[in-house]
């Protein structure tokens, strides 16, 4: 059986939080252990520049995300783990794809359209392109290059990214057609239905843009403090409580096994107090994170080691990328003169 090639990128603008862990990091590390998969995971630092022009933040986030994945046990012998910006072939491919990509396709991208709409909502005379860089506009082409560079078959992403995978398919087809080749396989988005989308401190989806996250590796005390801040209703201890729509119970379920979930459900019926629930939740989450947290702290203090791992990853990725780009260069007319 041919192996599935699973590829995904993590934009390096923030600090990983519990929602990232449950929704993306944990399933990706699990998938990388499946012998039927080849896994390509990368720090999408070129993408980070679209949203963030603060070099310190970009660098800090690259370090944190790399250390997080390694601390959580990503096996870099059985996966390819790299920084996008280390693979200059990706940037080169981006241009080849840009030159076959219809502008109209990009006009339809949700993220770009939302930015334009936002500008237009400011009323008559507003500049629809205010604050919109070419980076934001052509972002889906870069993403297509990420995916097509390695001929990924499966791309695990959130729902908001489905359109980008469809665009990658469109661009791949167009390139194959124009250059009468079968260079690119058509990738498919993989949306894990079973994976939880965690709610944050205020009950909305946990997201950096809502400022309601629980960072994955905060010190124990801070973790407890944040868990205590999670919004609940005002039911008193002793009153039966609903698990449905309860942020605490949802986070509990993302970390607990089946019997712990059943047990907690019972405690809700019995009217567990919110304070007690929060203490139990802290114990559970903290037990899970204790070991990787200390590994993470160790790695954050040993960037020489992490740098070495990333360079090895880049070497592995480039072995393949450099061969493919050579063929692609020839296909567009950039072969040797002799």
Nearer Cβ to ligand TRP, position 164 or 293?
164
Least separation in angstroms between residue 216's CB and ligand TRP is 17
157 is a contact residue toward ligand TRP (CB under 6 A)? yes
Residues 267-286 that bind ligand TRP (CB under 6 A): none
Please give, one letter per residue, the 3-state secondary structure of the chain.
CCCEEEEEEEECCCCCEHHHHHHHHHHHHHHHCCCCEEEEEEEEHHHHHHHCCCHHHHHHHHHHHHHHHHHCCCCCCCEEEEEHHHCHHHHHHHHHHHCCCCHHHHHCCHHHHHHHHHHHCCCCCCCCCCCCCHHHHHHHHHHHHHHHHCCCCEEECCHHHHHHHHHHHHHHHHHHHHCCCCCCCCCEEECCCCCCCCECCCCCECCHHHCCCCECCCCHHHHHHHHHHCCCCCCCCCCCCCCCCCHHHHHHHHHCCHHHHHHHHHHHHCCCCHHHHHHHHHHHHHHHHHHHHHHHHHHHCCHHHHHHHHHHHHHHHHHHHHHHHHHHHHHHCCCCCC
Using CB under 6 A as the binding criterion, the count of chain residues that bind ligand TRP stands at: 12
User: Strand pairing of 37-44 and 4-11?
Assistant: parallel
Least separation in angstroms between residue 301's CB and ligand TRP is 28
143 is a contact residue toward ligand TRP (CB under 6 A)? yes
Which residue stretch of 155-163, 263-271, 275-283, 287-295 sits at the interface with ligand TRP (rule: CB under 6 A)?
Answer: 155-163
One of 61, 161, 212, 250 touching ligand TRP (CB under 6 A): 161
Query: What does the block give as tokens for 278?
Result: 């929060």
147 is a contact residue toward ligand TRP (CB under 6 A)? yes
Query: In DSSP terms, which residues pair with 6 in a beta bridge?
Result: 39, 154
155 is a contact residue toward ligand TRP (CB under 6 A)? yes
9 is a contact residue toward ligand TRP (CB under 6 A)? yes
How many Å apart are CA 329 and CA 263, to the nearest integer?
Answer: 60
Least separation in angstroms between residue 9's CB and ligand TRP is 3
Nearer Cβ to ligand TRP, position 163 or 260?
163
One of 38, 45, 86, 146 touching ligand TRP (CB under 6 A): 146
44 is a contact residue toward ligand TRP (CB under 6 A)? yes
Nearer Cβ to ligand TRP, position 278 or 316?
316
Which residue stretch of 139-147, 248-256, 278-286, 324-332 sits at the interface with ligand TRP (rule: CB under 6 A)?
Answer: 139-147
8 is a contact residue toward ligand TRP (CB under 6 A)? yes
The residue of the chain with the least Cβ separation from ligand TRP equals 9
20 is a contact residue toward ligand TRP (CB under 6 A)? no
Least separation in angstroms between residue 309's CB and ligand TRP is 20
Nearer Cβ to ligand TRP, position 44 or 272?
44
Residues that bind ligand TRP (CB under 6 A): 7-9, 11, 44, 47, 143, 146-147, 155, 157, 161
């Amino acid at each position: 059986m041919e192996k599935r090639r699973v590829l995904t990128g993590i934009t390096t603008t923030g600090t990983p939080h519990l929602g990232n862990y449950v929704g993306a990091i944990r399933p990706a590390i699990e998938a990388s252990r499946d012998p039927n998969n080849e896994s390509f995971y990368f720090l999408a630092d070129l993408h980070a520049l679209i949203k963030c022009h603060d070099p310190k933040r970009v660098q800090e986030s690259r370090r944190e995300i790399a250390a997080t994945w390694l601390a959580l046990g990503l096996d870099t012998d059985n996966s390819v783990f790299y920084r996008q910006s280390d693979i200059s072939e990706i940037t080169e491919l981006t241009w080849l794809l840009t030159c076959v990509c219809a502008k109209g396709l990009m006009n339809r991208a949700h993220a770009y359209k939302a930015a334009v709409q936002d500008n237009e909502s400011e009323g008559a005379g507003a500049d629809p392109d205010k604050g919109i860089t070419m980076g934001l506009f052509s972002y889906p082409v870069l993403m297509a290059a990420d995916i097509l560079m390695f001929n990924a078959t499966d791309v695990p992403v959130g729902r908001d990214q489905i359109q980008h995978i469809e665009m990658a398919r469109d661009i791949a087809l167009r390139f194959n057609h124009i250059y009468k080749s079968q260079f690119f396989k058509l990738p498919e988005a993989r949306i894990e239905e079973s994976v939880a989308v965690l709610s944050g401190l205020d009950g909305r989806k946990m997201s950096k843009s809502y400022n309601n996250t629980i960072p994955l590796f905060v010190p124990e005390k801070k973790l407890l403090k944040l868990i205590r801040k999670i919004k609940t209703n005002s039911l008193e201890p002793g009153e039966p409580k609903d698990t449905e729509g309860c942020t605490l119970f949802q986070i509990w379920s993302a970390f607990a096994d089946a019997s712990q979930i059943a047990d907690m459900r019972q405690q809700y019926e019995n009217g567990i107090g919110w304070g007690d629930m929060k203490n139990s939740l802290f114990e559970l989450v903290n037990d899970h994170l204790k070991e990787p947290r200390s590994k993470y702290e160790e790695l954050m203090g040993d960037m020489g080691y992490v740098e070495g791992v990333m360079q090895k990853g880049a070497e592995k990725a480039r072995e393949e990328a450099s061969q493919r780009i050579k063929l692609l260069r020839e296909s567009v007319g950039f072969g040797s003169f002799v």
